[in-house]
A and B are shown apart, each in its own frame.
Chain A
Amino acid sequence: MPLKVKSTTRGPGVIIVSPIGSIDAHTYSVLDEKIDEILKQQPDIIIFDMEFADYISSTGIRVLLKTKKALKETDGRMVFMNLQPQIQKVFDILKAIPTLKVFASIEELDNYLDVMQKAAQK
């Protein structure tokens, strides 16, 4: 299945990335290129909405690690929404992204962003 990647801005410095399809050895570059574009904007938070990402390969995991590394270097953050159970399990066993944050819904994410913004204003 081909991969499409949508990105939307959800506030200053907050970008939602929504991969649609399979992130595998043939398609990961689509996500990689999109992320490179987004990282140039130096976002504070990148949110991966994984609801329509039906498959992720080790090359896809690598893109996520690369993103996390780039954000860590600029004090940015990476969070996930609607992570598929199989991918959750991989992260669980690996603890591959130690500070990974996963939200089950947009409401939960909004609460997080709200608290973060209030904290930043103090």
Chain B
Amino acid sequence: MTEEFDPRKSYLAVKANEKMIAYVGFAVQLEADGNSKEGIVKISSLHRPYGGGYLTLTFIVDKGRDDILKMQLEKLCDTITEGSLRPHLGKDFEKMVKVDLNMLEEIKGWYIEEINVYFRTIAEREKVLVEEKLLPALECILPCKFEPVEWWPKGRKTELSGDAQIEEQISLKGLFKKWFGSGS
């Protein structure tokens, strides 16, 4: 018996193991006259047992119904390639993978672009890789300017007791799993 491949389900399963580590605002210049658009990048990471891993950068821009803006953003994002990143990222850079989120589900009104950047060593180096390598590289490749990175706090200082149990009791955990791939 063959099981039908569900790309959306597979994507969410893969993404469930990533951890959001930071977010950063940016402004991208769209035209020579200075017309720019603001957006936000979510930064996640995944560590492999051997010490390597990847950073996922998810670019989020509200585009409304503006198809011209969408085309401009697509054209800009096309310039992010392994070839354009490599000179900026050094010998630790392995490869870059782009994920076409529109293939999974089109979200009307939003332009979302995701890139996964693989490094040979990533553990304890995320801050350096993001602030000193990746974002400066993207500022060289794209006509954009990033704001200071907002690093996500590492977990709660004290977890509320029985949190998972509480969520189970009110039967929302399944709903969270459905929406976010993970209930925690």
Residues of A within 8 A of B (CB): 24-25, 56-59, 61-62, 65-66, 69, 72-73, 75, 86, 88-96, 98-103, 108, 111-112, 115-116, 119-120, 122
Instruction: Tell me whether chain A's interface is mostly helix, strand or loop, or mixed.
Output: helix
Contact for B181 among A90, A95, A120, CB less than 8 A: A95
Chain B contacts of A61 at CB under 8 A? 40, 60
Contact for B110 among A73, A90, A122, CB less than 8 A: A90
- Of residues 150 through 184 on chain B, the ones whose CB sits less than 8 Å from some CB of chain A are 150, 152-153, 156-158, 160-162, 166, 169-170, 172, 175-176, 179-182, 184
Contact for A57 among B62, B152, B160, CB less than 8 A: B62
* Docked-complex contact B105 and A72, CB < 8 angstroms: no
Chain B contacts of A115 at CB under 8 A? 166, 169-170
A41 to B158, CA, bound (A): 20
A25 to B153, CA, bound (A): 26
18 CB < 8 A contacts A-B: A25-B38, A58-B38, A59-B40, A62-B23, A65-B23, A66-B150, A75-B158, A86-B107, A96-B42, A98-B180, A98-B184, A102-B175, A102-B179, A108-B172, A111-B170, A115-B169, A116-B160, A116-B166
Whether A98 contacts B158 in the complex (CB less than 8 A), given A57-B62, A65-B150, A90-B60, comes out as: no
A56 to B40, CA, bound (A): 13
Chain A contacts of B15 at CB under 8 A? 95
A114 to B25, CA, bound (A): 37
* Docked-complex contact A120 and B160, CB < 8 angstroms: yes
Residues of B within 8 A of A (CB): 12, 15-16, 18-20, 23, 25, 38-40, 42, 58, 60-62, 101, 104-105, 107-110, 112, 150, 152-153, 156-158, 160-162, 166, 169-170, 172, 175-176, 179-182, 184
Chain A contacts of B23 at CB under 8 A? 62, 65, 96
Shortest CB distance B152–A (Å) = 6
Query: Which B residue's beta carbon lies closest to that of A102?
Result: B179
A sample of 17 more A-B contacts (CB under 8 A), given A92-B180, A96-B58, A108-B170, is A56-B62, A57-B38, A58-B60, A59-B25, A61-B40, A72-B156, A89-B105, A93-B105, A93-B107, A94-B60, A95-B15, A95-B16, A96-B20, A98-B20, A98-B180, A98-B182, A98-B184
